[in-house]
Chains A and B, each alone.
Chain A
């Protein structure tokens, strides 16, 4: 085993695959936005003090209210024997539910320590369900770093929700399900557009409340709004739903292609989509033109973070004229990203996985105009003279759809604009 595991290997498909130190978040971070999306859910991490510390460092300290997440911290006594740990967990859940009587859905979220000691959270969820159902439904998923990277935590959460979704009647007409947590405003815009196109009642997963989760069945056609939902897609397919292949709805082009794909699945022609979206497309195109002045011709480098990198790189290169130096992604789902990969400029340098020191060497050697990276790297790179865009904001901001296209571009333009202002 002395062979080095982290030698980069460029494989035939041109994607650089690396192993080494990964400067990424674990899936627990997904809780930061999921707890706001599903308004009557609570996320209880079963983990260590590190997990609790991660959650409050990544988000919590900015939120000056009682958050709908917490950690059941494993201590020495729990490590001594598993039976005891289960009883302790039950007691923690009792205390929590007594404190928060309005909670209707409780997620037990697995972490690295709970996975390594093989604490069976699915059985714990079953047991707790027997006690607390129907007042509270208890589910479980893993957000551990050993199994999930950042946004994959949302994938694991939604995949856990899918088996719990109500069954659609067998004879139901085809219905559309949009999958992936979206900001409420984006969800509303998409609803209006899809209805105008002629898709009567689009539903969203996750819903805003636990009691309003969409039904699923053989008539369900689902459309991914996010590129990181591999397990959720599999779970939906296990319930008979069928995926509508599409690029992701970033920018004018992505949004239009996404809507067209949805329309196509319902036998609605492109001309209808063109007609319904004409105003919004024109508005977005005009707004994008202003951002283009700052971004055109600029060279951009993506460190891996959220799996949004490839769709965003596509948007930035095709609609804003940016040049792609390297596009890193933590994980590349070839099927779900097929439409996106086809739209990328030929020969784009893609990398999957990470060896952060080597990637930093490549980045510094390339001296890109803008580097998209996590918070651990952003200020150090700024100090080296590189302009950076911290990537987490891309997950926390409304960026999908026509009305947000220019906002999304502005997220990238702002660091460059700021540099110019401060240099002046």
Chain B
């Protein structure tokens, strides 16, 4: 058993729902207990979809367990096909139904339906949401495009590719798709089929007519794309176009696959974010210490953008995507870091607390941690909540994606002039060192959540209960104490670097067996670490 306060991914059947909800003409019959329909609101509320997901649940209850839950499932499947008339039917079990072993695949087959029925085996106690999405998409592609088709000749037509990986409930998938389509069009490449988002089973049958596949989200589409490569000899892209450098590498990769010269298209791209990062106003961003966590694709891309396109220092990199741990390890090695591969929220929290970064780039969950620790934070990856399905155009990929990331990541940081002034004058009644950046509009509000009376309205910071963060490695040694004047001096250091200063000084003292930290120790440590 694993103690879980927040989970980075849902169960695998939610991944399957993301695929079918993105598509058209597919229906999913899910053997599941009453209550599992909560998953509908992920789509209707968080993504604000205007129709119900194409999912029928058997919603069995305790009284059904004594009877025939298999018959219940068959009734649900038969009624769903009659009512929704899909082109293909997916059937599967949720975690509880997996335990009662009714075999939805066999039961659906016994119904003798006249449409393709694709059984899904999603092991709920081993695998998670993204794996479920990848497996579902792979099963669908395999079922709809089974035999190796003869490769179509290019002739005089433009090169064409499939865009694979965008699903419902994907972080910015809607706008990434639009941005990449425009980029490909500019290169002279047509999009043949985009899937799962917007595709029908009939579209999946046409996948093999394209010249190659563009894999936008490896977590979801790589299994299917690898199968298409093996079975249908369709090459696939490996670079995900998030960030300027990655987008340019992607353009070169696509050009090579399409047999095109990309020079003109490359030159025409207008990198506003690049100019912004070079402008003197961004000077103070240099070396800002950033912690990055998310799914493998977004975390790796964000770390590279942070280091090479914004001039931050990446002090931590991690991912909950165990299936792509190798990619994260390779990227972490570029920064000389030990990657954090975990789906344990508490471990991530402990690492952030230990590293004391100046900015956290993470998921919705890292916003919880950052809020608790009083750190600026921006969201770069799912899981996300409703505010990260914005109405405005907000891709992460391509040229516009770079611009969106620049704005989003810099916004939570204190602006340059204010930062300088805080270094100079610490006791201003309004712009004091405990205050949030004034451009965020809550002047005087303490950064770290302070206990408020229980009667305070919910919108304020809720009362923070004392949380005992487990001691990190190395803390077992005797902790040095702070002399009062040293503590006072420490508080003269602006808050966003104070955590790091405290940590470095304590480490310095511990390493040298200094029991009492004085002002001298503080400056000794400062000199030591800045060397």
Binding site for B on A (CB under 8 A): 1-2, 4-6, 20-29, 39, 46, 48-50, 52-54, 56-58, 60-68, 70-76, 78-79, 85, 88-89, 91-92, 95-96, 98-102, 112-113, 115-117, 144-147, 149, 184, 357, 374-380, 382-383
Contact = CB atoms under 8 A, between A and B. Distances in A.
Residue among A50, A64, A145, A184 with the most chain B CB within 10 A? A50
Residue among B1, B6, B61, B126 with the most chain A CB within 10 A? B1
Contacts of B49: 379-380
B3 A146 contact: no
A414 B505 CA distance: 57
A92 B385 CA distance: 28
Please classify how large the interface on chain B is, using the bins under 10, 10 to 19, 20 to 34, 35 or more.
35 or more
Given A50-B11, A57-B39, 10 more contacts: A29-B38, A53-B11, A54-B35, A62-B385, A64-B371, A65-B368, A65-B449, A375-B40, A375-B41, A379-B44
A380 B68 contact: no
Contacts of A116: 65, 96, 99-100
A377 B52 contact: yes
| Pairs of residues from A and B, 7 with the lowest C-beta to C-beta distance, nearest first | A26-B35, A145-B35, A376-B40, A383-B50, A88-B1, A112-B96, A375-B41
B2 A48 contact: no
Contact of A379 (B45, B76, B83): B45
Interface stretch (B177-185, B430-438, B460-468): B460-468
22 contacts: A5-B75, A20-B59, A21-B37, A26-B34, A48-B95, A49-B4, A62-B385, A63-B462, A72-B1, A72-B2, A72-B4, A73-B1, A78-B1, A88-B1, A99-B346, A112-B33, A112-B96, A115-B62, A116-B96, A145-B34, A145-B61, A382-B50
A75 B126 contact: yes
Interface in B436-476: 449, 454-455, 461-468, 470
Nearest to A39: B454
A362 B181 CA distance: 42
B252 interface: no
Interface in B18-53: 33-42, 44-46, 48-52
A58 B38 CA distance: 8
B38 A378 contact: no
B112 interface: no
A146 B36 contact: no
Contacts of B125: 48, 74-76, 79
B99 A24 contact: no
Nearest to A69: B5
A376 B99 contact: no
Contact of B1 (A89, A184, A383): A89
Given A25-B35, A49-B95, A100-B467, A184 B455 contact: yes
A22 B37 contact: yes
B33 A64 contact: no
A145 B1 CA distance: 21
A4 B75 contact: yes
Contacts of B94: 50
A145 to B, nearest CB: 3
Contact of B466 (A102, A117, A144): A102
Interface string B58-71: 11111011011001
Given A113-B95, A146-B62, A146-B96, A98 B34 contact: no
Interface of B: 1-7, 9-11, 13-14, 33-42, 44-46, 48-52, 56-62, 64-65, 67-68, 71-72, 75-76, 79, 83, 94-96, 99-100, 124-126, 128, 346, 364, 367-368, 371-372, 383, 385, 449, 454-455, 461-468, 470
A50 B50 contact: no
B33 A144 contact: yes
Contacts of B383: 61
Contacts of A149: 34-35
A145 B52 contact: no
Contacts of A112: 33, 35, 95-96
B342 to A, nearest CB: 14
A10 to B, nearest CB: 20
Contact of B4 (A66, A73, A147): A73
Contacts of B449: 65
Contacts of B67: 1
A24 B35 contact: yes
Contacts of B367: 64
A101 B466 contact: yes
Contacts of A48: 11, 95-96, 124-125
A6 B41 contact: no
A95 B3 contact: yes
A99 B58 contact: no
Contacts of B61: 145-147
Given A48-B95, A66-B5, A92-B3, A25 B38 contact: yes
Contacts of A383: 50-51
A22 B56 CA distance: 10
Contacts of A146: 33-34, 60-62, 64-65, 96
B75 A99 contact: no
Given A48-B125, A146-B61, A1 B7 contact: no
Contacts of B48: 379
Contacts of B45: 375, 378-379
A273 B227 CA distance: 76
A91 B9 CA distance: 23
Given A28-B35, A54-B35, A113 B99 contact: yes
A71 B372 CA distance: 21
Nearest to A90: B1
A380 B38 contact: no
Contacts of A24: 34-35, 37
Contacts of A85: 1
Contacts of B11: 48-50, 53
Nearest to A146: B62
A70 B368 CA distance: 15
A228 to B, nearest CB: 15
A60 B455 CA distance: 20
Contacts of A5: 71-72, 75
A23 B37 contact: yes
A101 B5 contact: no
Given A75-B125, A374-B41, A380-B52, A52 B34 contact: no
B65 A145 contact: no
A129 B321 CA distance: 37
A149 to B, nearest CB: 7
Contacts of B79: 20, 357
Contacts of A61: 364, 383, 385
A57 B462 contact: no
A417 B135 CA distance: 46
Given A6-B75, A74-B125, A379-B45, A21 B59 contact: yes
A102 B466 CA distance: 8
Residue among B44, B76, B454 with the most chain A CB within 10 A? B44
Contact of A72 (B3, B14, B128): B3
A108 to B, nearest CB: 12
B364 A92 contact: no
A117 B371 CA distance: 38
Contacts of B126: 75-76
A56 B7 contact: yes
Residue among B10, B67, B95 with the most chain A CB within 10 A? B95
A48 to B, nearest CB: 4
B35 A21 contact: no
A385 to B, nearest CB: 11
Contact of A375 (B9, B13, B44): B44
Contacts of B76: 21
Nearest to B65: A146
B372 A380 contact: no
B468 A99 contact: yes
Contact of B464 (A23, A66, A380): A66
Given A72-B4, A380-B52, A50 B95 contact: yes
Contacts of A57: 10, 38-39, 41-42, 46
